[in-house]
Amino acid sequence: MKIYRLPNGIVLTGKAWEIRAKLKEYGKTFRTIKEWIRS
C-alpha cells in the first residue's frame, strides 16, 4: 500500500481492505481529510 500526499489531497493505492483499514486508522487521529492534508 502507498500513500501519496499532494498539495490539494491524498491518494491511497493498494487493495481495498488495506485502504479501508488505513482510513479507519487515520480516522482516529484526524477528524476530516482536510485536517490530514494540513498536518
Structural domain count, the chain: 1
pLDDT in tens, the chain (39 residues): 999 998 888 999 999 999 999 999 999 999 988 888 887
Q: Which domain holds residue 33?
A: 2-38
Q: What is the pTM of this model?
A: 0.72
Beta bridge partners of 9: 6
The answer to whether the CB of 26 falls within 8 A of the CB of 36 is yes
Please tell me the distance from the alpha carbon of residue 17 to that of residue 9, in angstroms, as a whole number. Answer: 21
Contacts 24+ apart (CB under 8 A), 21-27: none
Q: Retrieve residue 1's grid coordinates.
A: 500500500
Query: Residue 27: in which H helix or E strand, if any?
Result: helix 16-29
